[in-house]
């Protein structure tokens, strides 16, 4: 990111000497001999690591210049409006979020903008203290505060919504686990009842005369049908915990 002041700006040396060679540093306001210099960052985009810097110079006569080559207060208004627009887009994204992944993505995208807006407000507050008689700076400071406060509220709402979704998912998993344990217990009961019978049938073959050997085929299907009905009720008991 660029950090060089426009060479045509006649700023006091006390201000120029506060810049290093590597970068312009954090957002801040510097005042000397009636000159006010604002070092501001553009509203960061999601996952943007580098910060684009823009300088705003207020001369002792109250006129403004921006390092982007424009004069007047309009460039500074436009700069803050970009933060406001980014905050509005995040609000819309919050309203459209539906699951935990959406809220987590929103939190990630919000971090950089929230931090930058906080520093923007602090910078304009410092400017307000350095030039207390400038009403325009007061209005810009208040605007930046509103953006910062909105982002703080949005962050808290998003975090609470994410925590609620996680707790809701954990509660659903716990409920499903309890149902599985209950079904497992009922299956164990069935196994305890029928396993000895199965073992005995395997050992002795259960080849006993029942008196039904000579009956019509209808008897076989009747017993088969009753077994299916009994199996249906047993299935409902195992899966739902009740016969009906």
Non-local (6+) Cβ contacts of 154 within 8 A are 87, 90, 91, 94, 110
Q: What is d(CA 13, CA 100) in angstroms, rounded to the nearest whole number?
A: 52
Q: Domain check: are 44 and 139 in the same one?
A: yes
31 close to 41: Cβ distance less than 8 angstroms: no
Q: Within a 13 Å sphere around the CA of 129, how many CA atoms are in the beta-carbon half?
A: 8
To the nearest whole number, what is the mean pLDDT of the chain?
83
pLDDT value of residue 182: 77
Per-residue pLDDT of 148-200, as tens digits, reads 999 999 999 999 988 888 887 877 888 878 877 777 777 777 676 666 556 65
pLDDT value of residue 16: 87
End-to-end CA separation in angstroms for the chain: 71
Q: What is the pTM of this model?
A: 0.70
Last residue of a domain, which of 170, 205, 229? Answer: 170
Non-local (6+) Cβ contacts of 158 within 8 A are 94, 97, 103, 106, 107, 110
What DSSP string runs through 59-76?
A: -TTS-EEETTS-BSSHHH
Q: Domain check: are 36 and 145 in the same one?
A: yes
**Is residue 7, in this structure, part of any structural domain at all?**
no
Q: Domain check: are 65 and 134 in the same one?
A: yes
- Is the confidence at residue 32, as pLDDT, over 80? yes
56 close to 78: Cβ distance less than 8 angstroms: no
Per-residue pLDDT of 43-73, as tens digits, reads 998 777 778 899 999 999 999 999 988 889 9
Q: Which domain holds residue 209?
A: 183-240
Q: Domain check: are 195 and 157 in the same one?
A: no
- Is the confidence at residue 1, as pLDDT, over 50? no
The stretch 87-102 carries a mean pLDDT of: 90
What DSSP string runs through 116-130?
A: HHHHHHHHHHHHHHH
Query: What is the number of structural domains in the chain?
Result: 2
Q: Domain check: are 188 and 138 in the same one?
A: no
Q: Domain check: are 147 and 188 in the same one?
A: no
Q: Domain check: are 148 and 40 in the same one?
A: yes
pLDDT value of residue 177: 81
């Amino acid at each position: 990111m660029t950090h060089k002041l426009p060479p045509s700006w006649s700023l006091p040396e006390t201000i120029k000497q506060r810049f290093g060679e590597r970068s312009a540093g954090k957002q801040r306001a510097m005042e000397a001999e009636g000159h006010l210099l604002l070092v501001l960052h553009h509203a960061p985009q999601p996952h943007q690591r580098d910060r684009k810097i823009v300088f705003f110079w207020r001369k002792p006569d109250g006129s403004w210049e921006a390092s982007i080559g424009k004069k007047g207060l309009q460039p500074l208004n436009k700069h803050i409006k970009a933060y406001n627009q980014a905050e509005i887009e995040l609000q819309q994204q919050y309203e459209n979020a539906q699951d935990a992944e959406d809220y987590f993505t929103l939190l990630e995208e919000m971090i950089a903008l929230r931090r930058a807006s906080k520093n923007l407000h602090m910078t304009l507050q410092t400017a307000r203290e350095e030039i207390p008689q400038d009403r325009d700076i007061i209005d810009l400071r208040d605007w930046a505060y509103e953006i910062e406060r909105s982002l703080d509220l949005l962050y808290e709402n998003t975090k609470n919504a994410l925590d609620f979704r996680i707790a809701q998912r954990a509660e659903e998993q716990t409920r499903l686990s309890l149902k599985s344990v209950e079904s497992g217990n009922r299956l164990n009961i069935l196994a305890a009842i029928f396993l000895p019978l199965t073992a005995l049938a395997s050992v002795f073959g259960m080849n006993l005369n029942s008196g039904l050997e000579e009956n019509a085929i209808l008897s076989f299907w009747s017993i088969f049908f009753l077994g299916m009905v009994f199996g249906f009720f047993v299935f409902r008991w195992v899966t739902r915990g009740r016969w009906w």
